[in-house]
Amino acid sequence: DAGITQSPRHKVTETGTPVTLRCHQTENHRYMYWYRQDPGHGLRLIHYSYGVKDTDKGEVSDGYSVSRSKTEDFLLTLESATSSQTSVYFCAISESQGGPGELFFGEGSRLTVL
Amino acid sequence: SQQGEEDPQALSIQEGENATMNCSYKTSINNLQWYRQNSGRGLVHLILIRSNEREKHSGRLRVTLDTSKKSSSLLITASRAADTASYFCATDAGGNKLVFGAGTILRVKS
């Protein structure tokens, strides 16, 4: 299994509080991704990174920010959590050049915003 | 919006039968990938097929790609109870981004 660790795995928080999810990899892969998974929507890309300090938005980036100060860590921050951000969040990594190759996924972080 | 759309949304079959899932997409692609997700787990990569390939096999999996129809199918032969999972197709969306469909839920009854 690819060395990807997500933390926390479960979190319950209240509306308006900040939340940070961490993705840590030991594979030294260049690309890192944050997806959210909701019933009926499959996985939707929030943000991704193509290198240290290099990030870009995905299709559902509003309300989320990311940072990547080291190759191995990709942080997803909800500045002020809302109930619509209740979801399961997945981190993924890839090393493919010249187009998306195989993604390796973490086990997910389940976030509940009350 | 999603690039790939799977069909059917749910499929229930008996052990030993074949399972076929379809994926349609909207724009040109470089490759198409299939993933499996067991309940409560992360996605696992199954197979990647490039736009210049028409068919690819991996064990009991067979994937076809028809770029003229913008569609792909995943066939699982001689299904087992352990194949019970959700299956997703994913297509490239520019750069190194992958866009996933909503998935097909497969239940294999023993």
Phi, psi of B102 (to 5 degrees): -80, -15
* SS3 of residue B81 by DSSP: helix
> Which among B2, B31, B100 is the nearest to A99, CB-wise?
B31
* A34 in B contact zone (CB under 8 Å): no
Nearest CA in chain B to A59: B1
Structure tokens at B52: 């210049």
Residues of B in contact with A35 (CB under 8 A): 100
Closest to B102 (Cβ–Cβ): which among A35, A41, A59? A41
- pLDDT interval class at A98 (50, 70, 90): low
Tell me whether residues A100 and B2 touch, CB distance under 8 A: no
Q: What is the mean pLDDT of chain A?
A: 94
Distance, CA of B47 to CA of B63 (rounded, Å): 8
CA angle A43, A45, A48 (to 5 degrees): 140
Contacts of A1 in chain B (CB under 8 A): none
Contacts of residue B68, defined as CB under 8 A and 6 or more positions apart, other chains included, come to none
CA distance to partner chain B, nearest, from residue A17 (Å): 26
Nearest-CA distance A33 → chain B (Å): 9
- 8 Å CB contact of A43 and B30: no
Q: Beta partners for A77?
A: A20, A65
> In a structure prediction context, what are the per-residue pLDDT tens digits for chain B, which is 110 residues long?
456 788 899 999 999 999 999 999 998 888 999 999 999 999 999 999 999 999 999 999 999 999 999 999 999 999 999 999 999 999 987 778 899 999 999 999 99
State the DSSP code for B1: -
B28–chain A nearest CA distance, Å: 13
Reported confidence tier of residue A62, pLDDT bands at 50, 70, 90: very high
- A42, closest residue in chain B (CA to CA): B102
Mean pLDDT for A81-101 is: 90
Q: Strand, helix or coil at B82?
A: helix
By the CB < 8 Å criterion, does A42 face chain B?
Answer: yes
A51 and chain B: CB distance < 8 Å anywhere?
no
- What is residue A73's predicted lDDT score, i.e. its pLDDT? 98
Q: Is A90 in contact with A34 (CB distance < 8 Å)? A: yes
Pick the closest to residue B89 from B39, B22, B38, B42 (CA basis): B22
Contacts of A56 in chain B (CB under 8 A): 95
